[in-house]
Structure formats: structure tokens, C-alpha cells
Structure 1
Amino acid sequence: MTFDLGPALLFCPADRPDRFDKAAERADAVILDLEDAVAPGDKAAAREALVAHPLDAATTIVRVNAVDSGYFDDDLAALARTGYRRVMLAKTETVVQVDRLDGFEVIALCETAAGIVNVASIAAAPSVVALMWGAEDLLASLGGTSSRDDDGRYRAVAVHARSSVLLAAGAAGKAAIDSVYVDIPDLPGLEREAQDARASGFSATACIHPSQVSAIRTAYLPSPEEVASATAMLLAAEGERGVFRFDGRMVDEPVLRHARAVLARGTGQPQQP
């Protein structure tokens, strides 16, 4: 199983079927959300909307409530009435929880202290195709008040969680999805953060508003200068053996892999974690 969606994954409340088609048109994939975006009293209606208004299963993910939330079993029953097979499990903390989604491709959303501590074992679960992390839920689970400081930068604990999820995903050969950027009007800030995500090795970034999709797509697409440099480097490598010097830089196999990744992004080919 592979994860081939992205780079812009758009959350859409599952109790708003009037938004389903628009979200699917604007993003690379839609995350129909049965969890935080839906009030407790509206969850039954959201499940019915999930069944009654189907989207393309190949580009749709369903976020279900946490296993111990009291809503999970009903979410699972609704899923059984659909063709959706990619499921994001909110507040994933253990492999045992992941196993409750046997038969699905699971995106493990690690957004609590327990989830981050156990992320390596979660990533290794066979049904897990990708990992995502959540900043605000993580800080809430720690008793904190905000994932970012006054300058808008992630606090140290959030940086650690982000890195832990990315490293666990990479070690297990799975994709990693970066957390949402909640300051919706700040598109330059989102683009900078998504550029960092792409450069660090994330496969996609989740978002909460259609206006954020373009900024994420732009950030994940290499610049013409990056493509030209990578192309020239790989051409130069064809006549070299081992380490060589190119444009004042030492080039070895890891650097060449970076160049191949740039070209893969530039041509729209799927990224392998």
C-alpha cells in the first residue's frame, strides 16, 4: 500500500454535504471530517451525509473519531456503507487502536503525548500508509495553551513532535503529512511553512480552508531554478565516478537523491517516502 495523495489535503466537515463537491474540485484530496469539525449533536447527520453524498474514493479520506471517544463504532458502521477505504484515525495512540480499522488504509493522526511517544510502533503497523501530527491537540493533551510563540514559531515541544512523526514515517517507509496552519489569512506564512515541510521530506500538508490550497501547491512545486540545477547536476553525474565537485559543491549519492526528488516533484511524479 502506498500513499499517493497531495500535496494539498483539505478538511471538510462531514455534516456539510453542500461543500463536498467544491472541496473535491479545489484540493488534491478531501478529508471528510467526522471528528472536531462536527458538533456532538450533528454527528449522526454527518454520518448520513457521508453515505448519501459520495465522492471519488480514490481522492477522499474520512477522519473518524478516536477509538475511545464513544463515537468510533458508529463511524465505523457508517464507513461500512460507503466505498471509502482511506481512513484518518484521530488521536491515534497505540497499534491496538489502529488494528480496529482492519481492512482500511490508515492515516494515523498522532496528536497526543501518548501518540507521539508511541509513533514508531504505530508507523510500523502494516495497515498504516501515512502519519500526520496535530499541534493544537498535542499541546492541549499536555495542558499547554498554544503550539506557537508570540512570533508565530512552533514551540520546542511541537517541533519535537513534528520531527518525531516525520522520522518515524521515514523509518517505516510511510508518508508524512504536515499539520494544518490555522492562521487562514496568513498565506505567506503558510507557504513558508509548507516549503519547509517539502524540503524536510513531508509528502503533503493538510489545510482547513480552500484559500490555502494554492499556497501549499506552490510551496511543494520546485522553482525553475531548482529544477535547472538538479537537471544539470544529474547530467554532470553521468560522467563521474563516486564523489565529484559541481558548481562549487561536493556531490555524493545523498545529494543526487535530493536532485532526483526535486525533479520528481517538478514533473508531478509520486514521491516515495
Structure 2
Amino acid sequence: MRGARHDSERYTGGVILSSAGRHWRGLSAELRSHGVGEIPSYVASFTQIAVLIRGASVVLRRSGGIRQRTVGIQGTIGLCPMGVHEDSTYVMHDIDEMLHIYLTPVPFAALAKHTSGDFSAASVRNDAGFHDPLIETIAGEILGELQLETSCGDILIETLADALAVRLLNNYSSLNLNPFPVTRGSRGLDPRRLQRVVEYIRANLAKEITVEELAAAASLSRFHFSRMFKASTGQSPSRFIGQQRLHLAKSLLVAGKSIADVAHICRFSSESNFVRSFRRATGRTPGQYRSLVRDRSVPVSSSS
């Protein structure tokens, strides 16, 4: 996401991890360290959420007409809405690890489309120094995908971007409303809808799959689909797709495809990331798995 890179140019701290090249949708992210010093002023291109991951922080901030001195511990959150002018930011204490999330306007536009409401990133409050268990959980999932790429990372991140937008509008905006109230005992998809979704996934495993496409297959809003799919299957759409692509990877390896080709077909950004993910899922490298199955004539579906 080019805009996210422009926003991040203001930072002087070192980049530890970045989503650049991952083909994420709805947001991008960086894990950074920050040394003592001033961060240049700028106008935010995206809605930014900063979550302190490790260490402590003391930050002086003048932004959008507010002045703040924020003392941070693990999980402390800061928001900077799209379009807000950050006049000055001064880091008074070295920050070991901070996750910067750059949320695009896309989830907000999708909310407006599916609800006919006037939902805009501009309504998000400019604030810092608070904690929110849900945002911290979402940040943890984003960080996990940064640390170890999966074959379903793009759809996982897209779902998390939608969840972030809803959370910000519900709890941290001038609108003070929830466009999608959560109800207990969410019903699942009926068998016909679920079958259509599963068939679509299996027919498109080697292609980009979006939440919007899956929701359309089920004739639902993207903001209701994920919850109903999980109620039906016990798995999130991203986890289900990840398992299906793992089975596909195993079959392709046994069929003689190169590891690089399998990585590409299964939607990984690099061969090395595929190898790490495959080993974590199976306990073996792709090459070891292929040799084991061929030597022992173990069926693909029954091998670990």
C-alpha cells in the first residue's frame, strides 16, 4: 500500500517487521522501534492505530488541536484519524516495539455501502493513552501474521480491518453507534448457502479470495458473513481456507511441483515464508514431507 509507506516515512525508528509485499487488503502494518527524539509533523493519509507491544513509552503529542502526554505500557493504544494534522510528536523514552496499523478508507466505505449509513473514517476520535481488549486482540493477530505468513493472511487481515473499523465507529467516534450490534447465539449458514461458499473456496484456492466474494456466494453482507460461517463450521473463513490450501500444497508436492511453484500457487509472498508455515503446520519441511509420503506410500490425507 503506497499511502501507508508515505505515512511511515515520518518515523525515525527502525522497521522490525513490515507487511510490504504481503498483498494485504484493508490495512497494512509495521512493527517498529523508536528512539528518543522528535517525529516530524504530517497529515495522516490513513486512520492510524498504534499499539505498544513491548517496553514502556512516554510521548508528548500535539495533534488536531489537542495536547497530550501519554505514558504507555504494554497494550497502550493511540489513534490518529485520516486527515488529522499531527503538529508535533516527541518520544521521551526509547520504545522497544510498537505496532503501527494503517487502516484504509475501504472498510468504512464498505460499511456505508452495506448499511446506507454515513460512516466515515473522519468521524473517528483523535485520542491516545487508552486500552481496549478487542483492539489489542486484533493487533495480536496482525502481529502474528507479520511474524509468520500464512496462506490465508490476506483474507484474515481483510476480516480484521472490517472488525477494526466497526470497533472504532462503535467506541471511538463522534457517531457513537454500532452499525452491526452483536447478538448472542448467532445463527449459522443454511446448508445450501454453506455448500455454495465451500464450493467457491475449493474452486478458487489458487486465486485471490476476498470476504466480499465469499459473502456474495452466501448472499450476505461481508460484515455478517464471517460470524455466520464460523457458527456453521466452527472455523473462521481464513482458517478454513488455510486448511484447504494446506491440503492443496501437500497434493502438489507429492505430484512433483517445485517448492517455489507450490508457494506461489498457495498464495505465499515467498518460498521461504511457505517453508516456515508448512513446517509449523506439519512438523516437516515441504521436501521432508514429499520424501516421507513417497518413501512410505502414505496417503496425502492421512499424513501429518
Task: Give the number of the structure whose alpha-carbon radius of gyration is greater.
Answer: 2
